[in-house]
Amino acid sequence: MKALCWYGKEDVRVETVPDPKILNPHDAIIEITRTAICGSDLHLYDGFIPTMEAGDILGHEFMGEVVDTGSEVKNLKRGDKVVVPFTIACGQCFFCKRGLWSACDNTNPNAWMMEKLYGYSGSGLFGYSHLMGGYAGGQAQYVRVPFADVGPLKIPDGVPDDKVLFLSDIFPTGYMAAENCEIKPGDVVAIWGCGPVGQFAIRSAKLLGAARVIAIDRIPERLQLAERGGAETLDYSRCDDVVEELKFRTGGRGPDACIDAVGLEAHAMTPSGIYDEIETRLFLETDRPMVLRQAIQACRKGGIVSIPGVYAGILNKLNFGAAFGKGLTFKMGQTHMHKYMKPLLQKIMDGAIDPSEVISHRVALRDAPRMYKVFRDKQDHCTKVVLDPKAA
């Protein structure tokens, strides 16, 4: 089959590799009909995530048709159309049973590495480094899905792929980010980053009853898309001090909740951003927590900072004192996908939201290497890339 493989920083190629096969009884093989490039993939593309190996197949947002099932998969059959969550969960452990699906105990074959780094390991993820399990990803024609009786969500006939594909990650991720804000009537939510995750956070915050959403980015078409989703916008490249601006716009109190939908590769030309740039180049810091610092500073006393943006390692000069001084609550982590997929499919079916509106590019799998660069550099008004592995 054809698959997109990682070979190093800014080096991804479509190669011919063997077809996947069933390895365990709860596995299924899916023939992929649609797959997407995620902002998280850019961290791999930019070489921020350790333990990648040349030849690793990328991709964790995908859907398709079941072509084969292991002996223990009773709920799926050949031909079923499914969306697959990017986190792999067993459904049986302490964490799965408590709805903390992305903390599943039993799906990371390399859990020991994570334990050394983080104390404990989260669940395995598709196409996201050996630290996260080393599972082959879904920017490919076929993929092996472990615990296929637990994760994949069956899609009723007649629903277009483009509407449901993002149930695989970014819609639930934006939704959980907003849900973590515990939105109450009258609340103002500030959201950094108007990439796909930010867009779904904006729309979800609105669905959950936020009075106002203030969306922050600098890319014009992304700010426009944010506006269409019901947000007020703030272009940080035209603003001297984002924190002061937010204070002013919220009557001096500050946003009730702040969402960091940017993560470890935040871009900025402020002194704090330049500091991070130097530190990461000198290996003194692995992540650039520039947005996180702003969110902590801007958040009102007793407010919530919700962090769907990915952080991986060591953060310097984090204003933790401000967080303590204001009594902030932090919520973060990989999305507990399995909890959100079904209810959010219902919202799509009800017409409350159409996730396909974030898509800017639909291309063949073979164009993926070029599209990684276009998406990373925000060229060509690119907001989200969907790949068709069947297109010639």
Binding residues for ligand NAD, rule: CB under 6 A, are: 38-40, 42-43, 169-170, 173, 192-198, 216-219, 222, 236, 261-263, 266-268, 290-291, 308-310, 334-335
Q: Which is nearer to ligand NAD, 261 or 386 (CB)?
A: 261
Q: State how far the Cα of 298 lies from the Cα of 193, in Å rounded to an integer.
A: 15
Nearer to Zn ion, 40 or 233 (CB): 40
Applying CB under 5 A, among 104, 225, 291, 341 the residue interacting with Zn ion is 104
Site membership for another protein, residue 318 (CB under 8 A): no
DSSP letter assigned to residue 374 = H
Q: How many CB atoms lie within 10 A of CB 313?
A: 13
Rule CB under 5 A: is residue 93 a binding residue for Zn ion? yes
Binding flag, residue 24, another protein (CB under 8 A)? yes
Shortest CB 332 distance to ligand NAD, Å:
7
**Span from 106-114, 198-206, 244-252, 322-330 in contact with another protein (CB under 8 A):** 106-114
Amino acid code (one letter) for 203: R
- DSSP annotation of 64 reads E
CA 16 to chain centre: 27
232: its two tokens: 């007020």
Nearer to Zn ion, 39 or 255 (CB): 39
- Site membership for another protein, residue 132 (CB under 8 A): no
Question: Considering CB distances under 5 to 8 angstroms, the limit depending on partner class, which of another protein, Zn ion, ligand NAD, none binds residue 100?
Answer: none
Q: Give min distance, CB of 102 to another protein, in A.
A: 15
* 189 C-beta neighbours (distance < 10 Å), count: 29
The label of the residue with tokens 């690119």 reads: 382
Question: What is the dihedral sign for C-alpha 345, 348, 350, 352?
Answer: positive
Could you tell me the smallest distance in angstroms from the CB atom of residue 5 to another protein?
3
By CB under 8 A, is residue 72 in contact with another protein? yes
Contact 348, 300 (CB under 8 A): no
**Binding of residue 149 to Zn ion (CB under 5 A):** no
Binding residues for another protein restricted to 320-359, rule: CB under 8 A: none
Secondary structure letter of residue 265 according to DSSP: B
Task: Select the span of 90-98, 174-182, 338-346, 364-372 touching another protein (CB under 8 A).
Answer: 90-98
d(CA 103, CA 320): 25
* By the rule CB under 8 A, 105 interacts with another protein: yes
What does the alpha-carbon distance between residue 283 and residue 229 come to, in Å, rounded to a whole number?
A: 39
Question: Which candidate, 88, 65, 89, 61, places its Cα nearest to that of 169?
Answer: 61
Residue 299's binding partner among another protein, Zn ion, ligand NAD, none (Cβ under 5 to 8 angstroms by kind) is none
Residue 214: enclosing H or E segment and its boundaries? strand 212-217
8 lines the binding site for another protein (CB under 8 A): yes
Q: Which does 334 bind (CB under 5 to 8 A by kind): another protein, ligand NAD, Zn ion, none?
A: ligand NAD
Whether 90 and 150 have beta carbons less than 8 Å apart is answered as yes
